[in-house]
Every structure is written in C-alpha cells, then in structure tokens.
Structure 1
Amino acid sequence: MSLLVVRDLGKSFGGLTAVDEVSFSIRPGELLALIGPNGAGKTTTFNMINGQLRADRGSAQLSGHELLGLAPRDIWRLGVGRTFQIAETFGSFTALENVQMALLSHQRRLFSFLKPARAFAQARAQELLEQVGMAQQGERACSELAYGDVKRVELAMALANEPKLLLMDEPTAGMAPEERHALMALTKRLVLEQNIAVLFTEHSMDVVFAFADRVIVLARGRLIAQGTPAEVRANRQVQEVYFGTGATFHADWGGGQ
C-alpha cells in the first residue's frame, strides 16, 4: 500500500512550466530516487510536497492527508522529515543541541530563562545521534565537524519527528565517494529498520543505482520514465536526455548531471 501518492502535480512560473502533470507513489520501506538533468523540476517537486512552494494544481496525499496547501511545520508534524542539499544545522550549537532543537519543534515545547532548553530530551537526542553513528561527537559544535558528519547530524534531526516519509534533497552533495556510500548505506538501514519511505534527488548515479529501489526520471518538468535502476539505466529516452543519442549508463559511472 502506498504511503505518499502524488497525482498530476503542476507548477508554472510565468510562461514556463516547471512541473507538468507529474504523478508517482512511494511505499513504506522504499527508497525512491527522483533524477533528471538540471532544470528538470526535481527541487520544485520537492518544495511543493514539503510546503515551501505552492502548487498550481494536483494532489499529494500522505496516508490520505492532503499535503498541498499546508505550511512546512504542519507537514513536519504529520510525519514528513526533510534534509537539504546544503546541510541546515546551527554551526555554533553542538550536535546534541541541534537534535534537541528538532525535538523541541516536534513536541511544540517553549522554554524560558528559568526553564532552559538544554535539559530537554537529552537521552532521546543522544539516541538519535547513536542511530546515525554520531554518539561520540555530541558535544562538538557542528562548525567543528567534517561535512560528512554534519550531514549525519542533519539526518538525526530529520528523524526527530519519527517520520513516515523522509525527503532528502541531494543528500550526498559535496561528499567524497566513500562518504556518499556510507551515508546512503546508513539511510538504507534506517529505512528498513523503521519502515520509512524515502524520496531523494541525487546527481551521483553511482548512489542512485546502488541504493534506490525504484527511480523516476524528470525532463523539462515531465515524468519520462520510471522503474527499477536497471530498467531506467536501459531506457533509451533516459540515455538520450542525459548523454545524447546512443550513449549508455555504465555500472561504474559516478559523475554528475
């Protein structure tokens, strides 16, 4: 049974149609990659589902609840986590404090000078850091961490609302190949353990073909192909969109778009 069902999603900017009648679904425990050349409409699609951008038409339902028209904070509280292409953490805060802030948001807690937030949910925040392999780095400021570790902290923050659906926009951007695969292997493990659905965009085809269960491909705002990684790799139209007529994906190809 599908967790997220997107139907006929559309968005235009003036005379430019950025997303044109896009439909797809995703099941719990599934990693679905959304790929396409620059300007294909991937981020626009993400931002409409997450409430950062208002859709012109269509529907996006999470377990029967319509997401379109809701504010990002309301979508977050329905069980949708989000990570960003450029990690969004507070650099001066420790890793533990960043996760505590996410927990505060999820539980709608307010704190004052007489009731500081630092004491809130430390055990749960530490548990989330442990899930992403950052338990030993909790007291370090995010500004002091390697970028790959910051992305792990961001993932822990995204898990703070116990999401049903996790949206990951370019999760491995700026990371070395080894770091990319380590982060996505971690994500895959968490998906299976917690039965989370993940929709992610990605420029690195090595990551897509190694970790996605299914792939959907956008070009000029339209969905042109979907299927398993092997099916998409062999799709002639996808090959032409990426490389021109006659080119093919190679199993070891790891470049960007």
Structure 2
Amino acid sequence: MSLLTINNINKAFGGVKAINNVSFELPRGQLLALLGPNGAGKSTCFNMLNGQLKPDSGSIKLEGVELVGRHPRQIWNEGVGRTFQISATFGSLTVLENLQMVLLSRDKKLFRLWTPAASYYKEEALVLLDQVGMADQADRACSVLAYGDVKRVELAMALAHDPKLLLMDEPTAGMAPKERNQLVMLVKKMVIDRNLSVLFTEHSMDVVFEHADRMIVFARGELIADGGAEDIRNDPKVREVYFGSGKSFEAA
C-alpha cells in the first residue's frame, strides 16, 4: 500500500476547474516533485492535502485513512507536516525556542503558563537542530539568521512531530544555487534516514532533476505526466506546457 493515495480529486472555483480528476500515489521513502507552470493547480492540490481546502469530490488517503473533511490540525496529527514558501518561524525567538514551541504544541502544553516554556524539550529540540545542521546556532534569534538557515530551522520544526508525509511548498524560493542544492540534499537525506515521503513544488529545474526520485506535472488542473527525470525531460506534453514548443529543458 502506498503511503498517500489520491483518487480522482476535483476542485472548482466558480466555473474554473483548478483540479480536474487528478489521481496519483506516493510510496514511503520517496522524494516526489510536483511541477507545473503558474496556475497549473499545484497550490490548490497542496491546500487540499493538508485540509485548508476540501475537494469537491474524490479521495485523499494516508495509509488508508481518509483525510477529506478533516481539519488541518487533525491531518497534522495523522502525520502530515508542511513547510511554506514564506518561512513561518518566530523571528523574535531563538532557534531553540522555535523548536520548543512546536514540541509544546505537539504535546498540547502551550497553555501551562506556570512552567517556563524554556524548561521543556531542550534536548529533543537540540537533536532535531543537529539533524539539520543548526545546533550550533540554537541560541541565536531567527530574525538574524541567513535565509537558508531559516529554511533549515523551518525543516526541523516540520520534523518535530515525526511526520510520515512532508509537504514542501517552494522550499528553495529566494535561495542562491548553492543553498538550494544544500537544502534539497538535506531533505533527501531525511527521506532516506527516516523513510519519509516528501511531496514538494519547485521552480528550479536544476534542483528537481538532480534530486527528485520522481516527478508529476500539472497543467490547467490536470496531471499530464508522471515519471523519472528522463521520462519528464523527454515528454512532449511537458515541453509544450513549459516552452510552447519541442524545446528541451537543457536548451531552455
């Protein structure tokens, strides 16, 4: 059984079909890239997967558990984590405190105000930060970090409840080429070490073709291609969508 099974999901806004009869599966331990030009339906798909939007029809199952109709917090509790294109960290808190806040939320201890938050989960937070290469910056405020380091902190926060599935929306947006590859290499290591499944959107084709295990491509709300790097690189529909011609990715 695949970890994630999406079967014939649909979503329309007025007369516009944002997602049209899309089905795909994601097995355990795979880094899957979701590609497509602007307006292809990528964000709509992501927002349905973590409960921000409800499909008009269709099924989304995580290890056989139906996610459609559940709230984002319930889906998070089932084991679905998410990072966002705009990093969602607390700039006024230290790196360590950001991790402690997530761990407190995980165990529903946020409102036990008579005990200082800094006394909770310090060791567990440091372990997570070490995994993403940020333990040596634990006492720095997130507001003074380089952008690539903020993304690492956000990744550690997303891993804090040990998700089965991680959704990453444009994880390398705004990063330099070296930072982009370092971050995705780190994610790929997590996929292997944790047997984690990752679905991510990305506009940097160099990152995608270098690191993704598999790719799916959306166009106008429909899934038009599914395969490995060579399959996608040579797919005429994909070339048409991206370039309006038979031009290859290498020639772009």
Same fold (TM over 0.5): yes
- Whole-angstrom CA distance in 2 between matches of 1:110 and 1:207: 37
Q: How many residues align?
A: 252
Partner of 2:53: 53
Partner of 2:28: 28
Q: Aligned Cα RMSD in Å?
A: 1.1
1:1-34 Cα distance to aligned partner (Å, 9 max, x none)? 3100001111100111101111101111100100
Partner of 1:234: 234
Report the alpha carbon displacement of residue 113 of structure 1 after superposing the two structures with TM.
Answer: 3.6
1:85-126 Cα distance to aligned partner (Å, 9 max, x none)? 111101101111111111112112234442121111010001
- Whole-angstrom CA distance in 2 between matches of 1:84 and 1:113: 29
Matches within 5 A, 1:1-257: 1-250=1-250
- Whole-angstrom CA distance in 1 between matches of 2:120 and 2:72: 23
Report the alpha carbon displacement of residue 242 of structure 1 after superposing the two structures with TM.
Answer: 0.1
Partner of 1:152: helix, strand, or coil? Answer: helix
Of all paired residues, the percent bearing the same amino acid is 61
Partner of 1:186: helix, strand, or coil? Answer: helix
Deviating 4+ runs (over 3 angstroms): 110-113
- Whole-angstrom CA distance in 2 between matches of 1:168 and 1:145: 20
- Whole-angstrom CA distance in 2 between matches of 1:16 and 1:111: 43
Corresponding letter in the other structure for 1:49: L
TM-score, normalising length: structure 2: 0.98
1:152-210 Cα distance to aligned partner (Å, 9 max, x none)? 00000000010110000001001000000000000001110000000000011011101
Identify unmatched segments of 5+ residues in structure 1: none
- Whole-angstrom CA distance in 1 between matches of 2:33 and 2:177: 18
Whether contact under 8 Å (1:111, 1:117) holds in the other structure is no
